[in-house]
């Protein structure tokens, strides 16, 4: 097993727009500190040569947490000049004069400093004094305790990031307390009201999604559906001509799109655009859905499920439909013309596709305890690499 793997989580603002992506480097079965540093450097080089770190975060800022010995300009992952990075630090840097000096230099070059976990202690207070942002782990803390910590940091001019935000309901509570930013996949878990009926527009959209994904729907029917919506037609051609689609010529018509994409891929783009047009839905929810789709497809291709890659892709893409419509996923899926295997994977996490979906959810939440995560013959480092590639693809696909 590789000794180091990388995780990535979005950090959102009070409007649920992406503020930054947090890139965390975790050590697995690493025998020594020196081996950890070598493995981390090797992984950074590998990602830079394969896709580049900027591709993983798109147009957003990266928040990077590395071993303190690697907080040096020459060791840092490379990003575009317009996207200075945020350097996350922990208690260990306080007694390291070389690291503190390096942080000062990097801050002068435009980097920001993020205190990885603020607690009510003298050490945290000292580190906060050199930080621009501070994270607070909100689990197990009362509202009164959190409010006191937020006020203390705000008085020092420090922006505060809530960590381990799991649901939209929790997000709303923390926002009222005064947090500036929120880390996690809480936007995948919106507040759902039991028995809630879909509004007219969303019901129509769900019916369109059902028609698009019905196995018997052929190209002419799909083409007629697209032509009825001028905005959808325009956006579809614009998306297909995006470099991320990798079409060798400029596509001028829906017929050309079918020729170069095939019916299944054309359906994918229609699905994506219809979901992207939904009002009141965080853009990151679509990015997450695309990344999940690509990741699940990659798991199929790289294991014994290659012939089922389209179904794996669809499971990943539709795994957030409940969040899009703010009803339970089961209530959405029941009206979709999907196979029983896909429905069972989405609702019950059943079968190989259900396992792949469970794996992607765990990869989204990677931490140091994830070193034993596997799918078929793929270990956690291989899963992490595929997740980074999937996110890079998703960032390009929605530009």
The CATH code of the domain that includes 118 is 3.20.20.450
- All residues at 6 or more sequence positions from 90 whose CB lies less than 8 Å from its CB, including other chains: 65, 68, 116, 117
**Which pLDDT band holds residue 2 (cuts at 50, 70, 90)?**
very low
Q: Are residues 369 and 323 in the same domain?
A: yes
Q: Are residues 16 and 162 in the same domain?
A: yes
Strands 112-115 and 159-163: unpaired
Q: Are residues 162 and 270 in the same domain?
A: no
Query: Which domain, by its residues, includes 393?
Result: 200-397
Q: Are residues 122 and 151 in the same domain?
A: yes
Q: Are residues 223 and 363 in the same domain?
A: yes
CA dihedral for 346, 273, 278, 226, sign (positive or negative): negative
Between residues 228 and 309, the one the model is more confident about: 309
Indicate the angle between helix axes 200-213 and 263-276, nearest 10 degrees: 170
To the nearest whole percent, how much of the chain has pLDDT over 70? 93
The predicted-structure confidence for 150-192, as pLDDT tens digits, reads as follows 999 999 999 999 999 999 999 999 999 999 999 989 888 877 6
Distance CA 124, CA 379 (A): 35
Per the structure, the count of domains in the chain is 2
The predicted-structure confidence for 90-147, as pLDDT tens digits, reads as follows 877 777 788 888 989 999 888 999 998 888 777 788 888 889 999 999 988 899 999 9
* Tokens coding 291: 């990344």
Q: Phi first, then psi: what are they for 217, rounded to 5°?
A: -70, 120
**CA 29 to each of CA 146, 363, 382, 385: distance values in angstroms, whole numbers, following the listed order:** 35, 18, 15, 17
Indicate the angle between helix axes 309-318 and 351-364, nearest 10 degrees: 50
Contact 265, 294 (CB under 8 A): no
pTM value is 0.87
Q: Are residues 99 and 211 in the same domain?
A: no
What pLDDT score was predicted for residue 83? 82
Answer whether residue 195 is part of any domain.
no
Residue ending a domain, choose from 159, 188, 217: 188
3-12, 255-264, 269-278, 330-339 — which is least confidently predicted?
Answer: 255-264
Other CB atoms within 10 Å distance of the CB of residue 108: 8
Contact 11, 183 (CB under 8 A): yes
Average pLDDT of the residues of the chain: 85
Closest alpha carbon to 172 in 153, 145, 150, 191 = 191
Answer whether residue 165 is part of any domain.
yes
**Which pLDDT band holds residue 196 (cuts at 50, 70, 90)?**
low
Residue ending a domain, choose from 168, 188, 208: 188
What pLDDT score was predicted for residue 27? 73
What 3-state DSSP class applies to 334? Answer: coil
The predicted-structure confidence for 205-250, as pLDDT tens digits, reads as follows 777 777 777 777 777 777 777 777 777 777 777 777 776 666 777 8
Between residues 18 and 396, the one the model is more confident about: 18
Q: Are residues 109 and 58 in the same domain?
A: yes
The CATH number linked to 378 is: 1.10.3210.10
Q: Are residues 218 and 165 in the same domain?
A: no
To the nearest whole percent, how much of the chain has pLDDT over 90? 38
Question: What's the rounded mean pLDDT across residues 271-278?
Answer: 80
Q: Are residues 209 and 317 in the same domain?
A: yes
Answer whether residue 194 is part of any domain.
no
Residue 195 pLDDT > 70, yes or no?
A: no
Answer whether residue 307 is part of any domain.
yes
**Using a CB cutoff of 8 Å and minimum separation of 24, what contacts does 31-39 make?**
33/67, 33/69, 35/3, 36/3, 36/4, 36/67, 37/67, 37/69, 37/70, 39/2, 39/3, 39/4
Q: Are residues 97 and 240 in the same domain?
A: no
Residue ending a domain, choose from 188, 209, 226: 188
Residue owning tokens 């922990």: 90
The predicted-structure confidence for 28-61, as pLDDT tens digits, reads as follows 655 556 777 888 888 899 998 888 899 999 989 9
Contact 270, 236 (CB under 8 A): yes
Question: SS3 string of 127-191?
Answer: HHCCCCEEEEECCCCCHHHHHHHHHHHHHCCCEEEEECCCCHHHHHHHHHHCCCEEECCHHHCCC
Q: Are residues 127 and 220 in the same domain?
A: no
What pLDDT score was predicted for residue 194? 59
Answer whether residue 193 is part of any domain.
no
**Which pLDDT band holds residue 1 (cuts at 50, 70, 90)?**
very low
Residue 284 burial by Cβ neighbours in a 10 Å radius (0-12, 13-18, 19+): buried
What pLDDT score was predicted for residue 234? 73
Answer whether residue 321 is part of any domain.
yes
What 3-state DSSP class applies to 238? Answer: helix
Scored b (16 or more CB within 10 A) or e, 360-384 reads beebbebeeebbebebeebbbbbbb
Closest alpha carbon to 295 in 209, 380, 385 = 385
Distance CA 61, CA 59 (A): 7
Answer whether residue 37 is part of any domain.
yes
Q: Are residues 238 and 383 in the same domain?
A: yes
């Amino acid at each position: 097993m590789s000794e180091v793997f990388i995780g990535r989580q979005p950090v959102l603002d009070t409007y649920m727009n992406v503020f930054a992506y947090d890139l965390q480097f975790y050590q697995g079965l690493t025998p020594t500190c020196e081996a950890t540093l070598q493995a981390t450097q090797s992984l950074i080089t590998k990602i830079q040569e394969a896709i580049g770190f900027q591709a993983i975060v798109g147009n957003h800022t990266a928040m990077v947490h590395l071993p303190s010995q690697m907080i040096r300009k020459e060791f840092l992952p490379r990003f575009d000049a317009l996207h200075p990075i945020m350097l996350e630090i922990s208690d260990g840097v306080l007694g390291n004069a070389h690291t503190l000096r390096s942080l000062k230099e990097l801050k002068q070059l435009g980097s920001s400093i993020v205190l990885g976990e603020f607690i009510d202690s003298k050490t945290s207070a000292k580190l906060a004094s050199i930080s621009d942002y501070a994270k607070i782990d909100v689990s197990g803390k009362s509202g009164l305790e959190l409010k006191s910590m937020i006020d203390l940091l705000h008085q020092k001019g420090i922006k505060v990031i809530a960590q381990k935000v799991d649901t939209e309901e929790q997000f709303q509570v923390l926002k009222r307390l005064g947090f500036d930013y929120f880390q996690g996949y809480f936007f995948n878990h919106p507040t759902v009201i039991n028995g809630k009926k879909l509004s007219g527009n969303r019901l129509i959209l769900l019916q369109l999604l059902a028609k698009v994904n019905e196995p018997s729907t052929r190209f002419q029917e799909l083409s007629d559906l697209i032509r009825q919506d001028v905005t959808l037609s325009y956006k579809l051609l614009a998306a297909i001509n995006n470099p991320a689609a990798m079409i060798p010529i400029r596509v001028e018509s829906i017929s050309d799109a079918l020729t170069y994409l095939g019916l299944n891929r054309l359906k994918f783009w229609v699905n994506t655009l219809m979901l992207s047009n939904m009002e009141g839905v965080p853009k990151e929810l679509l990015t997450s859905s695309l990344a999940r789709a690509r990741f699940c497809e990659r798991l199929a291709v790289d294991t014994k499920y290659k012939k089922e890659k389209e179904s794996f892709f669809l499971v990943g893409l539709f795994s957030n439909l409940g969040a899009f419509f703010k009803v339970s996923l089961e209530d959405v899926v029941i009206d979709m013309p999907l196979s029983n295997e896909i429905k069972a994977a989405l609702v019950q996490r059943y079968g190989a596709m259900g396992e792949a979906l469970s794996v992607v959810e765990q990869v989204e939440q990677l931490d140091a305890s994830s070193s034993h995560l596997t799918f078929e013959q793929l270990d956690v480092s291989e899963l992490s690499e595929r997740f980074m590639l999937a996110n890079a693809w998703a960032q390009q696909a929605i530009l």
